[in-house]
Structure 1
């Protein structure tokens, strides 16, 4: 069992809010920073994984990134990879200083898009001793073109992003579209996804379903595959052939510089967020990985 504690910590000029899950009866447990999908808030999937890890003996921190959820920061709802990597770095700093955490045993878990950001931080942060990625969305230019309708479609999104950024610079207005919509073709994901639209799953009041149009350029030009050769920490991936961009996971895994393993299992991308048996299988695999490597 575990206990949940509301915490805050600084990241740049913003104060971030998180949930620290601590295992019962443990002192100075290994610490794991956990984060989830693009645009998500901690309650959608990061809390679930952090609590499960705490039940298995880890001090696990989930948190809202700058400009999302309960955390401070402007502009809001901007999927900014560099800002998110910075937030992860500060989350590791907070966790390392906590009296219930063993600062010599720190790990990182990224789910979906946070796999890219956790990988980026791990590539440059020697305090992170082990990395785990669940249903990882790992992309480069090739994968973005395949995922978003080709080079012309990607170029159009980048054009829209630059126009929205210029408008924000002039007026302070953040142009937003839905993250997910079955009816709005401007949505970042213009189709019905039950996880995001179902209030019993991820469609919760804390998540406003807003995507800042100016974020497209930084998202589409972010190369996470190139990070793999920089990562020497032991790395575990858990993914499904029917989940998102499996080719990215294969290429990233092949390029890792350190010890690596990948578990292929059944399930769609969204099953790994909140469905069984995918969540338990992923948590057990990740916990075992941290148990072997954070000694």
Structure 2
């Protein structure tokens, strides 16, 4: 039974890893991510955040019994009070979801335990199986086991027999929960070391553990993540494994390296740094910071543009905005315009301190919503010497007036009234209300524009497990208060380039910015292209990329 459990755990863990072709080896599935966050917030007693993640876990496909088992399991590592408060919070979540008409899947119950052998011996065998060793003879008497035989009995009989023997969760899943708890509570590094070793033995890879540490950094804190990283390095060194696996790769001759830096709000921003082909470390290169779309991540169009710019000879940095993707900031998936603007300047901070970058030749590129943010950043950051946008979207105007200015003043006021009510409810612990940037399904009534966004974000063309385009509906209020072009004329004499598609319904955002900007400026229209075509369509990029290259070569001399 245990070998079957272990085998199923290994297979299910491997099959559940998802992501694009360059990232899949170090990605956790959405269900696994939520097991980590649920375990962490329950262990820390952060019930408001736990409430949100319990909802998200169920939405991601965890069954009710799986979540219950997680919350029961963690009591052995952080105590009955945390476990019971977690279960009480979960009961509230289930009641709220039932009231909203959501029928969650309960899933399988634990199989009856039919093994009648001595529980100490069973627990000892399970621990040996987790560790990949032969069970020792007799009882343990060294260390704490000799000092307190009682705790040794409890550990073997209750933890490894009563708890680990239950088959609602696999061994791999239980170790994932255990490691998440130990990383979150801190101060238990020897136990964390032991369970990281056990995790690797049952199929959790070093890359998965690194991803778990990143989740801890985002949701719990840098101190806890740094301590966990130190332990993981020790574990990997003891096993003779590489410590920096999957930290860089080469694509079409371009080296891509995972980097991170902190912005002025002390949020950790994670990016992919793209080095030019045939890199000469004795040279100083021009650099471009690339900002992603609204509700997007760096692995989508911003990463594609950074890759192509590096192929053209630039150092390029595509980063996840705060609260999105791999970057830090809680709560997750919220839009804070002033911090999105700050992220661009923080990226310039980082690039300015790279030995291979000429700090006087740094440009900025923003795509879709990132276009409005780079314009706003450039107005106050003179280190950005040349500014380009692709399919720019003024998120402030779009939220105030709707696409095509179709929203009336009264409709806007009603939206703000609703947001105020939601903030009041969420403050007292009710579940957060999210909305989708791109619909999960399309209908015959949807416009061509909506269909194009769906085709990009909801299909293998560009969908990514770190974003489903969901964001907090209350984010719409601060977005309404965002006016990216309010001092665009002060960017002069630094140049501005606005690239738009001939058929783009969003073209009027770039046209307005062009009218308000001072010279030098240029509005460049790609014939036949729509808004989304400029994200990745080869026929559109064959026109827009040479234009970006000539623009940056001219102004980043």
TM more than 0.5: yes
Give the CA deviation at 1:168: 3.7
Q: Which residue of 2 aligns with 1:170?
A: 428
- CA displacement at 1:170 relative to structure 2: 3.5
8 Å CA contact retained: 1:154, 1:220: no
Q: Which residue matches 1:270?
A: 532
- 2:467 corresponds to which of 207, 222, 229: 207
Q: CA deviation at 1:285?
A: 0.9
In 2 relative to 1, CA 254–15 (structure 1 residues): closer, same or farther, beyond 3 Å? Answer: same
**Whole-angstrom distance in 1 between the partners of 2:350 and 2:430:** 31
Where do 1:77-226 residues align within 5 Å? Answer: 77-138=333-394, 141=397, 144-147=400-403, 149-171=407-429, 173-181=431-439, 191-192=450-451, 193-198=454-459, 200-226=460-486
* Aligned match of 2:266: 13
List alignment gaps of at least 5 residues for structure 2: 1-252, 444-448
> What secondary structure, in the 3-state scheme, does the structure 2 residue paired with 1:277 have?
helix
What corresponds to 2:286 in structure 1? 30
In structure 2, the residue matched to 1:249 is: 510
Q: Which sections of structure 1, spanning at least 5 residues, go unmatched?
A: none
> What residue is the counterpart of 2:549 in the other structure?
287
Q: Assess if the C-alpha contact under 8 Å between 2:456 and 2:532 holds in 1.
A: yes
Deviations 1:226-268 (A, max 9, x none): 2322221101111023213222211210111230011112211
Look up the SS of the partner of 2:538 in the other structure: coil
**Higher-strand-fraction structure:** 1
Question: Aligned equivalents of 1:23 and 1:153: distance in 2?
Answer: 49
Q: What is the alpha-carbon distance in structure 2 between the residues aligned to residue 172 and residue 283 of structure 1?
A: 47
The offset of 1:72, in angstroms, is: 1.1
Q: Secondary structure at the match of 1:223?
A: coil
Bigger Cα Rg: 2
Cα 1:116/1:70, change in 2 over 3 Å: same
Q: 1:47/1:177 Cα in 2 relative to 1: closer, same or farther (>3 Å)?
A: same
In the superposition, relative to structure 1, how do residues 142 and 31 fare at CA in structure 2: closer, same or farther (>3 Å)? closer
Aligned partners of 2:442 and 2:332: how far apart in 1?
Answer: 21
Q: 1:152 to 1:108 in 2, by over 3 A?
A: same
| Higher relative contact order (CA closer than 8 Å, sequence separation 6+) | 1
Measured at CA, do residues 99 and 197 of structure 1 come closer, stay the same or move farther in structure 2, by a change above 3 Å? Answer: same
CA-to-aligned-CA distance 1:15-65 (integer Å, 9 cap, x gap) = 111000010224321111001211111011111000100011110000111
Higher helix share: 2
Output the CA distance in 2 between the equivalents of 1:236 and 1:261: 5
Q: CA deviation at 1:182?
A: 5.4
Is residue 391–residue 506 contact of structure 2 (8 Å, CA) maintained in 1? no
| Pick aligned residue for 1:240 from 495, 501, 504 | 501
Aligned length: 290
Query: Does structure 2 conserve the Cα–Cα contact (< 8 Å) formed by 1:143 and 1:245?
Result: no
Contact 1:225 / 1:248 at 8 angstroms: preserved in 2?
no
Equivalence for 2:306: 50
The whole-number CA distance in structure 2 between the counterparts of 1:49 and 1:81 is 22
- Give the match's secondary structure for 2:373: helix
User: Once the 2 structures are TM-superposed, how far is the Cα of residue 270 of structure 1 from its aligned partner?
Assistant: 1.0
Question: TM-score, normalised to structure 1's length?
Answer: 0.91
**Contact map agreement 2:285 2:315 (CA 8 A) in 1:** yes
